[in-house]
Chains A and B, each alone.
Chain A
Amino acid sequence: MGETITFWVLAVVSVGAALGMVFNRKAVYSALMLGSVMLCLAVLYAVQDAPFLAAVQIIVYTGAVMMLFLFTLMLVGVDSSDSLVETLRGQRFWAAIAGIGFATLIVLAIGNAVFAGQTGLAAATAQGGNVRSVALLLFTKYVFAFEVTSALLITAALAAMVLAHRERLTEKATQKDLSRARFRGDRPSPLPGPGTYARNNAIDMPALLPDGSVAEDSVNRYIARYDVEHDHLPEDPKLAEAIQHKAEEESK
């Protein structure tokens, strides 16, 4: 009875999260939804007498793989959300037909099947529990496959390094080069900090110069854009104009 309740709760959650993952525009939300599905599945593994797999699921998937996804998302750009317009003609229609049809067929097939009572893993794990039994199989019968997997993992790590490595085309700029470039440029001094001489001591408020004019460079352009997008402009029209200007600069 306990298992049934657990199953139904987790099934509903996981299907909902999966659908959310597929239909959410923002990739980060999708990643979080996927994490939820994985957690649910971990619990379901545990319920089904696979505690070792449940642990691995959480550690490897929810821990490592999902982190990798999130890192990549950060690299590629968090806020690049998919446009909703489908460019391939008929893709969504046929994808829906195929997906729903496939699901229906699977359900039909399983519904048709007649299952005997569950054997249960009690006999298989009689020798000291699930983890010991899995380990016993893994290091005896499947030891060769296990070793091959290690080779696979090393190869994958190496491949990732090779793929992600970027050849440096120019010499790395030294401290000396950087300071020289700074003095050659428009502004030898550091950028003015935000909020200096301003009425609001906030990072998104541009500084006022001693003559009362607004120092546009004192606001980070990303922050300026965020302010514009979320309508957080200050009331002072002079400041608002400076932020908008900065945001436009960024969007170029």
Chain B
Amino acid sequence: MTAHYLVLSGLLFAIGALGVLIRRNAIVVFMCVELMLNACNLAFVTFARQHGNLEGQIIAFFVMVVAAAEVVVGLAIIVTIFRTRRSASVDDANLLKY
């Protein structure tokens, strides 16, 4: 079963990455990042069971906590940007360039 879980995890991760690349709405991009994190968590949990080691679950727990913090800050940034630029598109924030 381990392989199945891992393949699922990889697929979800790839889908999340794809979303990050093709979506322009910053919030959706953020969601895709969350999806990628979740995919990783699934792999952690799977490996915890595979190896009979609880630390995989501990790491997954920490990932969740950090992800929560990241979401809070990230969304605050999006709101701030939206307030000043009237846009939530990641393509509109492109001033930092050559």
A residues lining the B interface (CB < 8 Å): 3-4, 7, 11, 14-15, 18-19, 21-22, 27, 30-31, 34, 37-38, 41, 44-45, 48-50, 52-53, 56-57, 60-61, 64-65, 68-69, 72-73, 75-77, 80, 82, 86-88, 91-92, 95-96, 98-100, 102-103, 106-107, 110-111, 113, 115, 118-125, 133-134, 137-138, 142, 145, 149, 152-153, 155-157, 159-160, 163-164, 166
* Count of chain B residues near A, Cβ 8 A: 68
Are A134 and B58 in touch, CB under 8 angstroms?
yes
Q: Which of A76, A98, A121 contacts B21 (CB 8 A)?
A: A98
6 tightest A-B contacts by CB? A119-B52, A106-B10, A103-B14, A95-B21, A99-B18, A156-B69
Are B27 and A65 in touch, CB under 8 angstroms?
no
Q: Mark B15-40, 1 if CB is under 8 A from A, else 0.
A: 11111011111011011101100100
Are B24 and A118 in touch, CB under 8 angstroms?
no
Docked pose: A15 CA to B32 CA in angstroms:
13
Are A138 and B6 in touch, CB under 8 angstroms?
no
Q: Which of B6, B52, B60 contacts A120 (CB 8 A)?
A: B52
Residues of A within 8 Å of B68, CB to CB, are 60, 64-65, 153, 156
Docked pose: A163 CA to B76 CA in angstroms:
6
B residues lining the A interface (CB < 8 Å): 1-8, 10-19, 21-25, 27-28, 30-32, 34-35, 38, 41-42, 45-46, 48-55, 57-58, 60-62, 64-73, 75-80, 82-83, 88, 91
If the complex has contacts A30-B28, A124-B52, A153-B68, are A41 and B41 also in contact, measured as CB distance less than 8 A? yes
Q: Which of A18, A48, A92, A123 contacts B52 (CB 8 A)?
A: A123
13 new A-B contacts, CB < 8 A, other than A87-B24, A119-B50, are A4-B1, A21-B28, A21-B32, A34-B34, A53-B60, A57-B64, A69-B75, A106-B14, A115-B2, A137-B55, A142-B62, A152-B69, A159-B72
Closest beta carbon of chain B to A156's beta carbon, Å = 4
If the complex has contacts A45-B45, A111-B3, are A18 and B15 also in contact, measured as CB distance less than 8 A? yes
Are B24 and A82 in touch, CB under 8 angstroms?
yes
Are A87 and B91 in touch, CB under 8 angstroms?
yes
Closest beta carbon of chain A to B73's beta carbon, Å = 5
Residue of A nearest to B19 (CB): A22
Interface of B is mostly: helix
16 contacts between A and B (CB under 8 A): A15-B15, A22-B15, A44-B8, A53-B60, A57-B41, A68-B72, A82-B28, A99-B14, A103-B13, A103-B14, A111-B3, A118-B2, A124-B52, A152-B69, A157-B72, A160-B75
Residues of B within 8 Å of A118, CB to CB, are 1-2, 49-50, 52
Docked pose: A124 CA to B32 CA in angstroms:
33
Are B49 and A72 in touch, CB under 8 angstroms?
no
Docked pose: A99 CA to B27 CA in angstroms:
20
Docked pose: A138 CA to B55 CA in angstroms:
9
Residues of A within 8 Å of B65, CB to CB, are 60, 149, 152-153
If the complex has contacts A18-B15, A164-B80, are A30 and B31 also in contact, measured as CB distance less than 8 A? yes
